[in-house]
Structures are given as structure tokens and as C-alpha cells.
Amino acid sequence: MNEADGISQKSMPRMLLFGLLFVAWMFPGLIGRDPWKADEAYSFGLVLNMMETGDLVVPTLGSDPFMEKPPIFYITSAGFAKVFSPPLALHEAARLSCVFYVILTLIFVALTSRELNGPRSGWLAAVLLMGTVGLIHTAHMLMTDLSLLAGYALGLYGVALALRKPLLGGLLCGTGAGLALLSKGLLGPGALGVTVLCLPLLKIWRSRAYLKLLGGITAAVLPWVLIWPVALYHRSPALFHDWFWTNNFGRFLGENGLGPTQSRLFYFWILPGFALPVFPLAIWALWRERKSLFKDPSVQLALLAAVALLAVLSSSRQGRSLYATPLLVPLALLAVRVERGLNTRTIRALNLGTFCFFSLAAGLAWFGWLAQFTGWPAPVLTRIQATLPKFAPVFHGAAFAVALLFTLGWISLAAWHRQEREFVAFHWTCGVALLYLLAMTLWLPVADGNMTYRHDFVGLRQALGDNPGIIGSHGLGEPQRAMLHYYAGIKPWRDETRGKLDCRWMLIEGSDLPGKEPKAPDLSWRLVWAGRHHRELFHLYHLDQAAAWNNPGIQVAVSQTSGF
């Protein structure tokens, strides 16, 4: 951005601005909260098991192998947890892997943009990616999608670099594909593979450089393809089959019932909101450059990558908005090009809209926070307590100070640039960072109380007593099993995977919906403990036939909590 370069030189170095923005955007919400349901909770359960057992080949959740995803992200998180806990809590230290993979992603996106769009576009592409609606929450969660994103960004950088250095580009692309493979299976390498195979459709790639690219990819990806899959197959062919076929092709074809089935148009419907602002900016850029679209290899590569990934995602019978996260990378690379055609009037209009929107949203966040303490308007606190009955607002000085400091910084930014033609993307991402920071400071007690399982298993360990032996379970979901392990220190055996169990304890999960309540296996089991998380009910039964028949009114130790 020419104008942005001039302004930044007059004020402070551009990279310092970016560094301050990254700190405000990345670090709120990493500490001071528990693992949140659902994806982060079960991901941490896998990390916890890996740290306890030292098994780097077979991810384990509770007492059962978990073959939905390969282990590279869990290995990384376990490494951070081992190094930085203490002083951080175990789950907070593990969450530092999010910072690691986000930094890698931003670096590769910036390098790719420099290759495709020129040296001044790198930081802008990173800023645009940070400002997307779909990334802000995921970037702070302990989930394999972050290492997948880093691998995909590295792979795409390799392809872009191959225009100048095909062999090195191939090595980097193959490394990225391998990282993506060991992060979340075949999705990442599949999307990169489709992109690379379609490159000869572009005239510039019909050369020997393409063959060098393929050679580099093959050499670099082979170790990733062989080491863990071979080790897994050597450990258990059945588990390898479960991972490779059931959790890759089975999910893709929608034949295993393990995930939500969606329409083929699902990703087309969610992209305008999920990929805001890069999706509309990318469409705008393509429209503006429609006449040169088939002449500019830089635009062609980013567009080809986006179309290839969208085609792969839309071909799958299962879909979640989370799966579209890698799409943000090529869209950001396209969105960067809009800046070249912005005139003064458009810049001022976008800046004004950005400051007005985020200032209003921040004001509402502060107003709602104050309402918790003043009791006016009453519906704010009433609505919170409807979900968290035991919630009582508590003033946290440090959180308040951080929120106030960054809010004043936002006001200063708005006032200082009111008459300036600054970089719109930077302003937008500052606004996104401010809202997330307010959510993770002022509203963190509410959010954490709603998403944590810490208080839902109080009394369970005591009810089991010493040496309870095998604890059976039925209906427990993945995050619930993980948090039982973390907070209660138990790993129940699931009757869904082990069949009829020879045990005297049974933990059953249900809900408060009619007909969904937990029920004892039969009359020989008595209820000794109960817990609750919102609508989820947990009942612990003990096999005691005599007590069940002779004293049906036996006292039950109940821990009725509501997640806070």
C-alpha cells in the first residue's frame, strides 16, 4: 500500500504496528480459561494421554484409541505443555502450540503474497488473514486445524515460489503437504495435490519447471507419508484401517455417520460470513482484474488454489464451517489486490464504516459488562443467570485494566486517523482484535462458565472411593471423556467399544430432554452421584443388588452444578 507505507514511515515502523496488533489479536484468551467444549476439550484429552503414556503413535482419548486425526498437533502441544507447565497450567501451556502454528501460517502467507503480489503486500496479506471472522476463534483453540492451516500455507508458498525456484518450491510444498497430512489426514494434501495437478492448465506451467516441482514434492512428502502411517500399521493394522479408510474416505463419502452431513452447496452459503472480509474483497479484486485474469499468473495461482480447495470440500458429504479455514489463505492472497485500486473516497468510506461498526460493538460490550454490576437493564444479568444459575459478577482488576487500555488505544487510533487515508485492512483487524479482547477479558467469566466442565464433576472422585476398579460408561461424548480424565482423574471403559463390562461402577450420560434422561442398566444398580452441565446429565451407578431391593430410598450424593 503506497499511502500506508508513507504514513507508517512518518509514525512508526510497519512491523512494530503489526507486532502490537498481533499481541492484541493473539494472546487474549490463551490463559485464564479452561479447555472449552467440544473440539478443544477432547484435543486436550489426547494431549494429556500422550504426556502420561509417552505414546506418540496412537492418540488415545480416555481409555480408547482415537483415530480420527494423526498426532502431529498433539505431539507439538504436549511438547509445549511439558516445557511451560509450570508456571502455566497444563492446558494453558499446551495452548501455546496455537501461537506457534499461527505464526507459521502468517509467515508463509506473507511470503506467498510477496511472491505473487510484490514485496509490499506480505504484511497486508497477514493482516487480512488475521481479520477474517472464521479464523479469530479457531486461532485460539487447541485444534488440529491450526497445524493443517500452517501446512497448507507452507504448501501454497512452495507452489508460488516454484515460479522462480521450482525444486525448492517443490520441497517446501511437499513438506507442507506432509504437515497437513499428519495434522488432519488427506484433506490438506488432497487440496494441494489437486492444485498442483491442475497447474498445467496455466500456460506458464507447461515447462520443465513443473517436472522439477513434482520431483521436489515427491522427495519431501515421502518421509511424512511413510514414518507415522507405517508405525501405526506396524502397531495395529485395524487402527490403520480405522484412520485411513473410516476417518478419511468414510467421512468424505458420508458412509460412517461420524460427522454432520451437509449439502454440496454448504460452503458456498457460509463463505460470505465465515470469510469476511477476504471473500467479498477477493470477488471485488477478480471483478476489477477480469480483463487480465488469464494473463496474470499470480492471480491465476491464488484463484486455482481457492477453486481446488472449494471443490474438494464441496465434494465431501460431511461439512463444518471449521473445515473451510484453509480457504482463507488463497482468498486473502486475492483480497490483497483490491488495495491497488482504492481511491481516496473509497478509503475514507471504508475507514468510517469500520470505526463506526467496531466502536458501536465495543460500546455494547462495555455496556453489557456494566449491566452485570448495576443490574440495569435487568434482562442482561437475567439472561446470563438463566444459563449459569450460580453466576455472580466479580470485578477482575487486571482484566478490566487490559480491556480499558486497548479500548483507549482504539479510540486513539480512530481519532488519529480520522482525516488520514490509512490502510483499511489494518483498521479492520484492529477492530476484530478489540472485540475478541473484550470478550476474553470483560466477558471471560461468562464464556468460561458456559464452556468449561471443571465444576460439573465435583464429588465424582469422592463418590467412587479408593480403588474403584474398572469404571464402565455409556453415552459419554469425546469432550466429556477428556474432561473426566483431566478433572476427575478417571478413564471409564466404554460399553460401546468393549461390549458388556464386568464392573461395579457405571457412568451414564443423558440429557434433561424427555426420554433422554440417564437410566440405570437394571434394578441391581443404585444411583450414588449425579452431575449436570446445562442440559447434559451424568449419573454414576453402583452395582449393589441388595441395597437396590431392600432400601430403594437410599440417599443419593448429588452434585448439581450448571457449568460455572
How confident is residue 292, by pLDDT bands cut at 50, 70 and 90? confident
Contact 111, 148 (CB under 8 A): no
pLDDT above 50: residue 330: yes
Contact (CB, 8 A) for 104 and 153 = yes
Give the pLDDT mean for 524-550. 83
**pLDDT given at position 526:** 92
Where is average pLDDT lowest: 9-13, 365-369, 425-429?
A: 9-13
Least confident of 10-19, 231-240, 461-470, 480-489: 10-19
User: What's the mean pLDDT when you consider all of the chain?
Assistant: 89
Q: What is the Cα–Cα distance from 301 to 334, expressed in whole angstroms?
A: 10
User: What pLDDT, in 10s, does the model give residues 201-259?
Assistant: 988 888 899 999 999 999 999 999 999 999 999 999 999 999 999 888 877 776 666 66
pLDDT for res 545? 56
pLDDT of residue 41 exceeding 70, the answer is: yes
Q: Is pLDDT at 291 greater than 50 in this prediction? A: yes
pLDDT, one tens digit per residue, over 477-529 is 999 999 999 999 999 999 999 988 889 999 999 999 998 999 998 889 999 99
CA-angle at 394, arms to 393 and 400, nearest 5°: 110
CB atoms near residue 352 (< 10 Å)? 12
Residue ranges covered by each domain of the chain: 34-261, 344-451, 460-558
Lowest mean pLDDT among 104-113, 291-300, 322-331: 291-300
Mean pLDDT computed over 402-413 = 95
Mean pLDDT of 433-452: 95
- pTM, entire model: 0.92
pLDDT of 302 strictly over 90: yes
> How many whole angstroms separate alpha carbon 227 and alpha carbon 235?
12
Q: Cα-flanking dihedrals φ and ψ of residue 91, to 5°?
A: -70, -30
- Span 344-354, average pLDDT: 89
pLDDT at 294 > cutoff 90: no
Query: How much is the pLDDT for 10?
Result: 44
Q: Is the pLDDT of residue 553 over 50?
A: no
Percentage, residues of the chain above pLDDT 90? 70
Average pLDDT over residues 522-546: 89
**What number is the average pLDDT over the span 381-393?**
90
- pLDDT confidence of 417, banded at 50, 70, 90? low
Q: What's the DSSP call for residue 519?
A: -
Over residues 119-134, mean pLDDT: 92
Q: CA 23, CA 16: separation in Å to the nearest integer?
A: 11
**For 359-374, what is each residue's pLDDT tens digit?**
999 999 999 999 999 9
Residue 531: strand pairing partners? 538
Measured from the Cβ of residue 283, the count of other Cβ atoms closer than 10 Å reads 16
* Separation of alpha carbons 418 and 406, rounded Å: 18
What strands, in cross-sheet order, belong to the sheet with 525-533?
493-494, 471-474, 505-511, 536-543, 525-533, 557-558
Identify the bridge partners of residue 472 per DSSP, sorted by sequence position.
Answer: 493, 506
Mean pLDDT for 390-399 is: 92
Mean pLDDT value across residues 465-478: 91
Taking the C-alpha atoms of residue 64 and residue 163, their distance in angstroms, rounded to an integer, is: 46
Residue 355 CA to residue 58 CA, distance in Å, equals 49
Among the residue ranges 210-214, 385-389, 429-433, the one predicted with the least confidence is 385-389
pLDDT value for 13: 63
Whether the bond between 38 and the residue before it is cis, its omega within 30 degrees of 0, is yes
